[in-house]
Amino acid sequence: MPKKMVVIFGALNILWMVFAASQAFKIEISPESKIVAQIGASISLTCSTTGCESPSFSWRTQIDSPLNGKVKNEETMSTLIMDPVSFGNEHSYLCTATCGTSKAEKGIQVHVYSFPKDPEIHLSGPLEVGKPITVKCLVPDVYPFDRLEIEMWKGDRHLKNEEFLEPMETKSLETKSLEVTFTPTNEDTGKELACQAKLHIDEIDGEPRERETTKKLQVYISPKNTVISVNPSTRLQESGSVTMTCTSEGLPAPQIFWSKKLDNGSLQLLSENATLTLIAMRMEDSGIYVCEGVNLVGKNVKEVELIVQEKLFTVEISPGPQIAAQIGDSVVLTCGVTGCESPSFSWRTQTDSSLSGKVRSNGTTSTLTLSPVSFENEHSYLCTVTCGHKKKEKGIKVDVYSFSRDPEIEMSSLLVDGNLINISCKVPNVYPSDRLEIELLKGESIMKKKTFLVDGHKKSLETKSLEMTFIPTTEDTGKVLVCRAKLHIDEMEFELKQRQSTQTLHVNVAPRNTTILVPFSILEKGSSVNMTCSSNGLPAVNILWSRQLNNEDLQLSKNTILTLLSTKMENSGTYLCERINQAGISRKEVKLIIQIAPKDINLTAFPSESVKEGDTVTIFCTCGNVPQTWIILKKKAEAGDTVLKSTNGAYTIHKAQLEDAGVYECESKNEIGFQLTSITLDVKGRENNKDYFSPELLVLYCASSLMIPAIGMIIYFARKANMKGSYSLVEAQKSKV
């Protein structure tokens, strides 16, 4: 409790009482005896008299120091005005009034004080739970401070009080203070911190003797438990957005600051909002973001690292990095994008030539249609996709080819056993022909293989072929000839890289070894004959019988057997049998002779059969129906017969010698029969008149009776010939000789 102290100014007061000579003359002063005046205020002391009409007044201080006031006299009153009151006014003032000879005097004590302001409370810092704090209470401009008491309260708890009893050296206004240190707790919030200052001067009227200042306590909590939540993730894609919310606990509620940590470590303030939304993130926005929870008493920092990943949009081109497109076909190249909502497309060729195709783009795909595929499409096509400010390119190489038809097997002619044949395997409309390989196989075995070189740079469809010669045999029949064409474009897949054609071999056999079977080729007039023609060959052969006439062939029959009935002489001649099939033709001729037996043989000598040595004699031989050539003239001799060289059956002996005499024989024969006759030539010598001897008679005999039917012999020869499959007249004649 404040100690109440009453100081009686009277104890210090010296009462000046001067009694006036006249009872009637009286002096009064107001206020009475003393006044306590605040420095800076204004006071007036009034001295008044009674019992005198015009008194005179004088004022002075007891120690004769200056009045420090203004005097104002009015008939029976004098006023001393101090304005403003200062330390120079703390005196005992005397007012003397003189009325004639009478004098009256009254004194008054003036005390000064200063207590103009409420105390000031100063905290050394914000209040924080658990952290000692010093509170200072200042009481400014106090006088006299030895009367001052300062007291501090926290709520209803007294903290400290102090009096300032040390001696005052000088009169001055002083500021006094009281310091208290305490440790705040949570419960202190809301309590009042009070500072009471009291100036213990009872006489103070009107003005406060007690001043109090209060301060409501606010205890703070430094930010803590700062937490960042990131939505959707700290890892995001370019152009994506992220929302980060930061919370921090503390009292007062911390304010949130979002910043980004720069490379040099300094922070760049982004927001003062707890929720930070970042949109359209770029890769360079990656980095450490800092949330600071800040309040009066501190801050708490939390960091989060955001990683902005390059947006992965991908471009796919189909059907593949390289395709083979057949000329004339339709091919669609598709460029598709994933990871980009509205890409823009552009197509070009690597050599910047015209696209030669139709582009159609829709949403995330773009197609380039090449229809029909042509040589102009042999390019590397590039699809460029632009997504935002990013670009990506993918290429596809289009190789064109042409391989639309199966190979064609061609043979120069019919397959004939043993005949050389040219086989060609043709592959039409090929491109690129330098990738072509043609194989020709018989059954499983390769007969020939061929590849082709590039010829020039011109792009064109070409027809390539493989040729070979081949001699087929009958064993080849039934075997399969295969022409296989391969287009070696290994780098890529396409439907048909190989095409083949087959042909089953049928080897023909040309008719051969044609034979004509004739029982007799020389026939007696009137007889009949069957001539049979035969041969082998594949396929089956046709037969044509004809007879050769002078300038044309007379067709007779298409049967195997040609029958001649009751032959006439005119039937003699050459008969031809032709056997024909696709593979060839084979002919055989047979000479048929229709004869009659020789008769009427006539051998004569001219001029006579008896001549003289030195004469000329001609021997004639004729045989009715037989040509001269069939007549043989011989001279018989023991040593052997001499065949005479006759012309048309005539033989002339010039200058006949004795030795020319003898038997001359004429023979006419054919296959049917023969006749033989002879004469004897007589040559007479000329010596002893013998020269002129009549020539000896040449005995000419025409031995028709000796004619031997020869038919039996002919049959013999004919049979013999048949066994050999042919019959030759010449052979037969030779054998007979």
Binding positions for ligand NAG, rule: CB under 6 A: 262, 264, 266, 273, 275, 362-363, 412-413, 420-422, 469, 512-513, 528-530, 563, 602, 604
CB of 365 to ligand NAG, least distance (A): 8
Find the shortest distance in angstroms from Cβ 543 to ligand NAG: 15
Report the distance separating Cα 596 and Cα 500, nearest Å.
70
Cα separation of 236 and 368, whole Å? 34
Q: How far is the CB of 444 from ligand NAG (least distance, A)?
A: 26
Q: Using the minimum distance from each CB to ligand NAG, give the nearer residue, 49 or 364.
A: 364
CA 506, CA 475: separation in Å to the nearest integer?
10
DSSP lists the bridge partners of residue 575 as: 547, 590
Q: How many CB atoms lie within 10 A of CB 377?
A: 22
Say if residues 104 and 122 touch (Cβ distance below 8 Å): no
Helix, strand, coil percent values for the chain (each to nearest 5): 10, 55, 40
Q: How far is Cα 417 from Cα 477, in angstroms, rounded to an integer?
A: 10
Supply the minimum distance, in Å, between the C-beta of residue 485 and ligand NAG.
21
Record the tokens describing residue 138, joined without a space.
């200042």
Residue 175 vs 413, nearer CB to ligand NAG: 413
Give the nearer residue to ligand NAG in terms of CB position, either 12 or 420: 420
Residue 19 or residue 606: which is nearer to ligand NAG going by CB? 606
Nearest partner of 571 among 558, 587, 554, 583, judged by Cα: 554
Rounded to a whole number of angstroms, the distance between the first and last alpha carbons of the chain is 195
**What are the tokens at 697?**
């008679």
Question: Which one, 225 or 277, has the nearer CB to ligand NAG?
Answer: 277
Query: d(Cα 527, Cα 593) in Å, to the nearest integer?
Result: 11
Select 201 or 291, whichever has its Cβ closest to ligand NAG: 291
For residue 612, the minimal CB distance to ligand NAG (Å) is 22
Neighbours of 168 (CB within 10 A): 13
Interatomic CA distance for residues 533 and 725, integer angstroms: 11
Place of tokens 């026939």: 523
State which residue, 503 or 560, has the beta carbon closest to ligand NAG.
Answer: 560
Is the backbone of residue 319 left (phi > 0), alpha (psi -120 to 50) or beta? alpha
Minimum distance, C-beta of residue 311 to ligand NAG, in the bound complex (Å): 23
Decide: 442 and 476 in contact? Cβ < 8 Å: yes
Between residues 422 and 694, which has the closer beta carbon with respect to ligand NAG? 422
Q: How far is the CB of 512 from ligand NAG (least distance, A)?
A: 5
CB of 275 to ligand NAG, least distance (A): 5
Q: In what order do the strands lie in the sheet with 174-182?
A: 120-123, 133-142, 174-182
Name every residue whose Cβ is closer than 8 Å to that of residue 277 and which is 6 or more positions away in sequence.
Answer: 241, 242, 243, 244
Nearest distance, CB of residue 558 and ligand NAG, angstroms? 16
DSSP-assigned beta bridge partners for residue 485: 438, 499
Q: Which amino acid would we find at residue 1?
A: M
Let me know how long the chain is. 737
- Nearest distance in Å: CB 230, ligand NAG: 16
Closest to ligand NAG by CB, 377 or 586: 586
The CB density around residue 734, as the number of other CB atoms within 10 Å, is: 10
Find the angle CA(466)-CA(482)-CA(438) to the nearest 5 degrees. 35
Which of residues 220 and 470 has its CB atom nearest to ligand NAG in the complex?
470
Instruction: Give me the least distance between CB of 433 and ligand NAG, in Å please.
Output: 21
Q: Nearest approach, Cβ of 663 to ligand NAG (angstroms)?
A: 18
CA distances from residue 140 to 83, 118, 178, 201, 606 in whole angstroms, order as listed: 22, 8, 12, 17, 210
User: Which residue(s) pair with 502 in the sheet?
Assistant: 482
Nearer Cβ to ligand NAG (492/580): 580
Give the residue with the Cβ less far from ligand NAG, 412 or 657: 412
